Amino acid sequence: MLLCERIKSNNMQSYKVQTKDQLLLHVQQWNDNKKSKGTICIVHGLGEHQGRYAHVAKFYIEHGFQVYSYDQRGHGLSAGKRGHTPGLDYNLDDLERVINTIPHHHLFLYGHSFGGNVLVNFLLRKQPKYLRGAILSAAWMQLVEEPNPIEVGMAKLMNNIYPSLTQNNKLDSANLSNNHLVCENYNEDPLNHDQISVRLFAEFYPAGKWAIENAKKLPVNTLMVHGADDAIICKSGTEQFAQNSNGKATYKIFENTKHEPHNDLTKEDVFAYTLNWLEESLS
């Protein structure tokens, strides 16, 4: 694995991790707490980037954790065609390579939306029992608006012909949060994009459903949080996964909360709830 020179600024370090297909992923070490309670690695969602989690990192840092994050391939400052992946296994391998560069001391993984899909499939398929736990935030397992059979059939066909073809992901920023400033900032952020490739959809759409059906394979205790008013990812996917997990997963549905619990008007309650779970997991 190729690691490029680390860039350090105000106790923050950024560095690159090379993927198995020679792309460079941008990784952020948010702080350097050698006496931390534990380590958290954040996996962002589709079309966004790790910089949108600066306030999330700050919260956990202030409560004694070491925090890392990275831009997924095709996102943020990482290489790759915007919104595209060669396949599910590439994203899982990317996450594993990033994990191999960070401390495993009381390690927790935190994945939101598409990042939650990546994370839940990583947990189920890779069985990383070295983790202390995981947090899934509005994890993409079931969409609110399911594609019709014709759309699914076309995606399968195009996946064989032109898998890197990208199109608009049709995400409406108004569905992200009840905080209008969050929505405005999302639209104005030049590192965000609105693309999704045929291959990404064709691989991760069924992978979300597979995760629900295979939740009993969950290897570590997992907390799931979801907004009751999420119009993008269906909260019933979170509920079904937890119910199928043989007690490994617990969940909390937050009222008056849209797709991004960590960015909504209820975020202080969300942060406090997740922190309490993390500290109980360490006790």
Per-residue confidence (pLDDT) for residue 182, from 0 to 100 = 98
Is the pLDDT score of 3 beyond 50?
Answer: no
**Mean pLDDT, range 136-153, rounded to an integer:** 89
Cα(66)–Cα(28) distance, integer angstroms: 11
Between the CA of residue 103 and those of 13, 42, 106, 168, 207, what are the distances in Å? Answer: 14, 14, 8, 37, 28
Tens digits of per-residue pLDDT, 119-130? Answer: 999 999 999 999
Per-residue confidence (pLDDT) for residue 149, from 0 to 100 = 80
Split at pLDDT 50, 70, 90, the class of 99 is very high
Cα 93-89-60 angle, rounded to 5 deg:
50
Split at pLDDT 50, 70, 90, the class of 8 is low
Sequence spans of domains, the chain: 7-282
Is the pLDDT score of 148 beyond 90?
Answer: no
Tens digits of per-residue pLDDT, 160-193? Answer: 888 899 999 999 999 999 999 999 999 999 999 9
In contact, 92 and 122? CB cutoff 8 Å:
yes
Is the pLDDT score of 205 beyond 60?
Answer: yes
CATH class given for the domain over 7-282? alpha beta
